Amino acid sequence: MTDTGEAAEAVEALAVEAAGESGAPAVAPFRFFALDVLRTRRLGHSFLRVTFGGESLADFRSGGFDQSLSLFLPPAHRDHTVLPDTGEDTWFAAWRGMPDGERPVMRSYTVRGRRRTAAGVDEVDIDFVLHGDASPASYWAGRAVTGRRILAIGPAVAENKSVRFRPPTGTDAIWMYADETALPAAAAILEALPADLPVAAFLEVPHADDRIALAAPADARITWIVRDGAGPERTEQVLGVLRPAALPEAKAPYAWIAGEAGTVRAVRRHLVQERSLDRRAVRFTGYWRLGSSEEQLLAEAYAGQAPGEEPEAAL
């Protein structure tokens, strides 16, 4: 879903990968896409799926699993996203230089689905968490209507840095935790896994009717953790479910953890310290942090202080 730290990382990836080690221009693996809202569908109490189309999507390439892209969402008084410059080397400065009231917000989201229809139309699905108008992304999604256009930075090559789920060869089980912000990524991962791969997935959602249908492997054990208004104690609620849970036995398990930064850190500690999982077999990402706004996290991300992947010392 949204990952404010990853939004800044996408900027860095675009800048770094657009130039070779010598600084010479190279074929950029990321580019801008114009996305037109085709339709919306409510998935549960907290989730809204927005389906986008657009001719430029013919050049979009997804690496699968938890592929993300960065959306530029217009301010409340604009129907469409406007950027003064989308050049590879100049757009970031132009975007940052826009007046506060006109600058589109940038948020990173998972590509929940991608397809080409029988009519030859390329489509992508993005699932948004609706949690009030204080969040610019939630505000925009709640008012998305057919015909509105936004811009996005996404991959033009399948092998790109915005895919984080990368189990090594020989992985014989998947252990997974995700809250609602990471649920679209978790769902996309589950859909892509082999049918015979043992999986234990712990999925945290705000409300009981957010437990959406999932196409998971036959050997997957899905445990829903319904928060139902829990505040700062949410981490203990998650750990209270995880600690007594039986995980699939494996010689080489791989863990993917994403969601609120504090809970992600606690889950990682549990797996490494209490379950003796090799820390190198854990991929973890803090999509957001309790008590911090998206804009605060973005400012930290630009300053190199994103809550994304915690340092080893966090253990």
pLDDT tens digits, 8-50: 444 444 433 333 333 433 446 899 999 999 999 999 999 999 9
Query: What's the rounded Cα separation, in Å, for the pair 5 and 298?
Result: 6
User: What average pLDDT score do residues 265-289 get?
Assistant: 94
Tell me the three state secondary structure of residue 88: coil
Query: What is the pLDDT, as a whole number, of residue 315?
Result: 34
Residue 167 pLDDT > 80, yes or no?
yes
Residue 131 pLDDT > 80, yes or no?
yes
Please state the pTM of the whole predicted model: 0.85
Domains detected in the chain: 4-155 (2.40.30.10), 173-314 (3.40.50.80)
- The percent of residues in the chain predicted with pLDDT above 90, rounded, is 70
264: tokens are 């992600």
Least confident of 132-141, 240-249, 267-276, 303-312: 303-312
Query: What is the pLDDT, as a whole number, of residue 58?
Result: 94
Query: What's the rounded Cα separation, in Å, for the pair 287 and 273?
Result: 23
Are 190 and 214 spatial neighbours (Cβ–Cβ below 8 Å)?
yes
Which residue(s) pair with 25 in the sheet?
19
DSSP state at residue 249:
P
Are 103 and 137 spatial neighbours (Cβ–Cβ below 8 Å)?
no
User: What average pLDDT score do residues 233-250 get?
Assistant: 94
- H helix runs in the chain, sequence order: 4-17, 91-96, 136-142, 183-192, 234-242, 261-269, 294-302
Q: Where are the beta strands (DSSP E) in 68-143?
A: 68-73, 105-110, 113-116, 122-129
User: What average pLDDT score do residues 111-124 get?
Assistant: 94
Query: What is the pLDDT, as a whole number, of residue 192?
Result: 92
Query: What is the pLDDT, as a whole number, of residue 289?
Result: 77
User: What average pLDDT score do residues 52-72 get?
Assistant: 93
223: tokens are 């445990």
Query: What's the rounded Cα separation, in Å, for the pair 175 and 104?
Result: 36
Query: What is the pLDDT, as a whole number, of residue 1?
Result: 52
C-alpha 68: how far from chain center: 6
Query: What's the rounded Cα separation, in Å, for the pair 255 and 165?
Result: 9
Query: What is the pLDDT, as a whole number, of residue 248?
Result: 92
Burial (CB < 10 A; 0-12, 13-18, 19+), residue 154, is buried
Q: Which residues contact 164 (CB under 8 A, 6 or more apart)?
A: 65, 66, 256, 283, 285
Residue 103 pLDDT > 90, yes or no?
yes
User: What average pLDDT score do residues 164-181 get?
Assistant: 96
Least confident of 11-15, 71-75, 153-157, 186-190: 11-15
